[in-house]
Chain A
Amino acid sequence: GQQVMQIPQYQHVQEGEDFTTYCNSSTTLSNIQWYKQRPGGHPVFLIQLVKSGEVKKQKRLTFQFGEAKKNSSLHITATQTTDVGTYFCAGFFMTTDSWGKLQFGAGTQVVVTP
C-alpha cells in the first residue's frame, strides 16, 4: 500500500546540537508536507515541498525533497527547548482519479535536554 516511513521514531537531543529526521515513500509523491505537533496539541503545518530536489529553509530548519520525489528530510540546527514536539512528514500520493490523500509518517518525537 501507499505508506510514508519516517525515522527515527524518537530523538533525544542536547540543547545546541543538530539533528535530522528522514522520510521515505515506496512510490512517488506529488508533494510532501511537514507538520509539528506539540505535546497535547494538534498538527501545525510547517512547510510544503513540491519540486524534485527542492530545498527550503525556515530559520534553523532546513527541508529537502529528494530528486526522485520519494524521500525528504528535516534538519534542525542548534536545537532549542522550543523545538520539543513530534515532527511529522505527510505526503500526497500521485493518483489519477482523485486529488489524493495526505498520508502521515509515524513521526519523530523530539526531546531536548537543556
Chain B
Amino acid sequence: EPEVTQTPSHQVTQMGQEVILRCVPISNHLYFYWYRQILGQKVEFLVSFYNNEISEKSEIFDDQFSVERPDGSNFTLKIRSTKLEDSAMYFCASSIRGQSEAFFGQGTRLTVV
C-alpha cells in the first residue's frame, strides 16, 4: 500500500540552527500539508501546498518557516532558526484531491536543545 515517507524519524538540533524535514508524498497525490503536534496536544495545521505554491498557512507558519517541492517527489519543511518551542512531532500529509482524505507520514520528532 502506498504511504507517505518522512525522514529523519528523529532530529536533534541546537537552538538557532536550521533544520530541513523531508517528506515523500504518495506519488499521484497533488495536495500536501505540514502539521505539528506537541506531545499530547492537538494536531496543528502549519501549511498546505498545491501546484508549487502555498495555498494556506497558519499564524504559526511565520518567516522562519518555508516549504519547497524541489523535485517531483520530495516536499520539504525548513525552519531557519529553531527555537526551543519548535520541539514537536512534525507530520507531512498528502491527498489526491483538494478536501479529500489526508494520508499522514510517520512523523519526524524534532528536539531543539
Contacts and interface: CB of A to CB of B under 8 A. Distances in A.
Interface residues of A, number: 24
A95 to B, nearest CB: 8
Contacts, number: 62
Nearest to A95: B56
A105 B103 CA distance: 17
What secondary structure prevails in chain B residues at the interface with A?
strand
Given A44-B104, A45-B101, A99-B99, A107 B56 contact: no
Interface residues of B, number: 25
7 A-B pairs closest in CB distance: A99-B98, A104-B43, A101-B56, A45-B101, A42-B104, A106-B42, A92-B99
Interface of B: 31, 33, 35, 41-45, 48, 50, 55-56, 58, 91, 93, 98-107
Interface of A: 30-31, 33, 37, 41-45, 48, 88, 90, 92, 95, 98-107
